[in-house]
Amino acid sequence: GDKQGAIADYNQAIKLKPDYAYAYFIRGLAKYDLGDKQGAKDFRQAAILILKRFCVVSAI
């Protein structure tokens, strides 16, 4: 598929909703597939956001 286009789309999604973990995760996959190892930082951000959400839900 169009990985560069997907990255651009997920950049926009993250801009609109900075806590959208799924967008970070999928953007990380696209970057990794293009050989951007630094893009793996998106996986870390996705994990942080997921853990934050889990902690909030667990506290309820």
Phi, psi of 2 (to 5 degrees): -85, 85
Q: Read off the pTM.
A: 0.79
Ordered structural domains, the chain, with CATH = 3-59 (1.25.40)
- Size (the chain), residues: 60
Q: How far is CA 31 from CA 20, 47, 60, in A?
A: 17, 16, 35
Instruction: Render pLDDT for 3-57 as a digit per residue (tens, 0 to 9).
Output: 999 999 999 999 999 999 999 989 999 999 999 988 888 888 998 988 887 776 6
| Distant-in-sequence contacts of 21-30, Cβ < 8 A, 24+ apart | 21/45, 21/46, 21/47, 21/49, 21/50, 21/53, 22/46, 24/49, 30/3, 30/6
